[in-house]
Structure 1
């Protein structure tokens, strides 16, 4: 009788352990999988950027490979908590290529710095999806086309430096909605028209 009782206790204990392990596995899959998918999104966006590079004299892009985590690629900074790309700093590296629309997928990006390279083509409309973007620096490239009006959707922007390019068209009046803007450099382009009167509402603007 005592042996049967001990056997029942052991069986019940094993059953409870099995249930607990199952719960932990379910919890782990529920929390870990989305993180992996989000990281994959950032990595794919960076690889699309690399694919648009047509000139890389300093071989900067060689570090962008699967042998190391993309957060350790040259010029890439990730946040500690979510391992999402927060900064892309590739200034003065003799890079050439076109700007890529997949930049809009770097949804945690706070700073984009491509100063002093030879990037061309238009500023993609998808840049308006970067709602966390605070600093945009594209000075001294060969970027053409118009300034995207939906840049105003990046409401946290404090610094916009896109002087020294080949931009055309008028300055979008919608930029006056960037209430946090402190620095705005647009000169040395081929812009037409006058400064929108609504820019008088940019009370935080210090340099322009």
Structure 2
């Protein structure tokens, strides 16, 4: 009888682990940054953002890749998905982000200055969107940035000869 009770308690603990909140198993800063990114999406005809919900861990959301060790977002790749909206400044909170690929969508407004704070960023691909305004001058702080492609937008470079 005691042995049976032990196994029932163990089973209950396993059930608790299996149903634990996804936040417990990951980084809430990254999760919140992704939710803020999602909040700025105004058009999603393919319903891509529906997978971005609390029923699964954010590392399993469509287009999101996380590192194995720290379970932090390292890639955000949402290429040619008919998404529209503006880019959330909260993207700057994805401090482990190495690749941002939003090619071939309809993102508009400006590139948030906060992207310049992504010290690990290696690739920034924003080709064929409707992004306007100036290219943030603080992108030069992203010392690991080796691949930048922003063609097909309405961007202006700051006049550096002032």
Measured against the shorter chain, the TM-score band is 0.7 to 0.9
Which of 16, 31, 55 is matched with 1:67 structurally?
A: 55
What is the aligned partner in structure 2 of residue 109 from structure 1? 97
Aligned mates of 2:157, 2:144 — CA distance in 1: 24
Alpha-carbon distance, 1:36 to partner: 5.2
**In the alignment, is the contact (CA less than 8 A) between 2:26 and 2:71 conserved in 1?**
no
Aligned residue pairs, count: 139
Aligned mates of 1:171, 1:102 — CA distance in 2: 27
Aligned mates of 1:36, 1:72 — CA distance in 2: 15
* Greater gyration radius: 1
Does the alignment pair 1:148 with 2:136?
yes
Which of 162, 165, 169 is matched with 2:153 structurally?
A: 165
What TM-score do you get using the length of structure 1 for normalisation?
0.64
Q: Which has the higher contact order (CA 8 A, sep 6+)?
A: 2
Alpha-carbon distance, 1:37 to partner: 9.8
Aligned mates of 1:143, 1:90 — CA distance in 2: 16
What is the aligned partner in structure 2 of residue 190 from structure 1? none
SS of 2:27's equivalent?
helix
- Partner deviation per Cα, 1:5-57 (whole Å, 9 max, x = no partner): xxxxxxxxxxxxxxxxxxxxxxxxxxxxxx95970000000000000000001
Map 1:27-66; keep pairs closer than 5 Å. 39-66=27-54
Q: For structure 1, which runs of at least 5 residues remain unmatched after alignment?
A: 1-34, 174-208
Greater fraction helix: 1
What TM-score do you get using the length of structure 2 for normalisation?
0.82
Query: Which of structure 1's runs of 4+ aligned residues deviate more than 3 A?
Result: 35-38, 169-173
